[in-house]
């Protein structure tokens, strides 16, 4: 079985797999260290759920959040 898995190697040398696997036996593995930083991924559910609340919060008749505009941004 040849399978490619994404992993992160932390500063202590630990290899952390991005996906869970359940091997039935021991396997040999080859680790290739890439030069680029790991990507920070946002789940699809998070991206899809962002649109609906934004519609409500950005409606002109919505008054509940307007007091927040009075404060300077940090």
Number of structural domains in the chain: 1
Q: What is the pLDDT of residues 21-51, one digit of tens each?
A: 888 999 999 988 888 777 766 666 766 666 6
**Residue 60: inside a domain:** yes
**Residue 21: inside a domain:** yes
* Spatial separation of the C-alpha atoms in residues 52 and 58, rounded to whole Å: 10
| Structural domain boundaries enclosing 18 | 7-34+43-70
* Spatial separation of the C-alpha atoms in residues 9 and 16, rounded to whole Å: 6
Q: What is the pLDDT of residues 2-11, one digit of tens each?
A: 888 888 888 8
φ and ψ of 36, to 5 deg: -80, 155
**Residue 1: inside a domain:** no
pTM over 0.85: no
Q: What is the pLDDT of residue 28?
A: 92
**Residue 56: inside a domain:** yes
**Residue 12: inside a domain:** yes
**Residue 2: inside a domain:** no
CA nearest neighbour of 14 among 37, 31, 35: 31
């Amino acid at each position: 079985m040849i399978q490619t898995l994404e992993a992160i190697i932390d500063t202590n040398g630990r290899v952390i797999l991005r996906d869970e696997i359940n091997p039935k036996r021991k396997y040999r593995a080859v680790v290739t260290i890439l030069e680029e930083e790991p990507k920070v991924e946002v789940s699809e559910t998070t991206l899809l759920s962002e649109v609906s609340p934004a519609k409500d919060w950005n409606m002109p008749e919505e008054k509940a959040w307007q007091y927040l505009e009075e404060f300077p941004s940090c």
